[in-house]
Amino acid sequence: MQISEAESIVMEVLWRTQPLAAEDVVAALAQSQHWQEHTIKTLLNRLLKKGAIQAERDGRRYLYAPVLRREDWVMGESQGLLARMFGGRVAPLVAHFSQQGGLSAKDIAELRKLLKEIDDGHR
């Protein structure tokens, strides 16, 4: 499922707290995005049409909740990035960040720990 960057911002709100009415989503995004109410409602409708969220009637309003799990979306986005940019391989991605100075000492320590866990067969 393809979700635009703007749609993913709306999804992040719904992944954090659900279900939410449209006015709650508007309130959550008003300060950080400076989007108009109409824009946010358009994004909600797009997400509904894509099947990423569902709407349940609650009196005179609808409550929105994600159908698409964040974990599934992140996996698809990650695999797409790897396929497009690095031939589907993780090592060139890490090498790229390393060469560009994009890995902190903390990142390197976490990678070492992860590799040790993989080597030890715990993952």
Q: Are residues 13 and 59 in the same domain?
A: yes
Q: Are residues 48 and 77 in the same domain?
A: no
What is the residue-wise DSSP string for 23-59? HHHHHHHHHHH---HHHHHHHHHHHHHHTSEEEEEET
Read off the pTM: 0.80
How many domains are there within the chain? 2
Sign of CA dihedral 60, 65, 67, 68: positive
Q: Are residues 11 and 29 in the same domain?
A: yes
Instruction: Name the residue range of residue 100's domain.
Output: 70-119
pLDDT digits (tens, 9 = 90+) for 3-45: 999 999 999 999 999 999 999 999 999 878 989 999 999 999 9
Q: Are residues 10 and 59 in the same domain?
A: yes
In single-letter form, the type of residue at position 122 comes to H
pLDDT digits (tens, 9 = 90+) for 49-62: 999 999 999 999 99
Q: Are residues 61 and 16 in the same domain?
A: yes
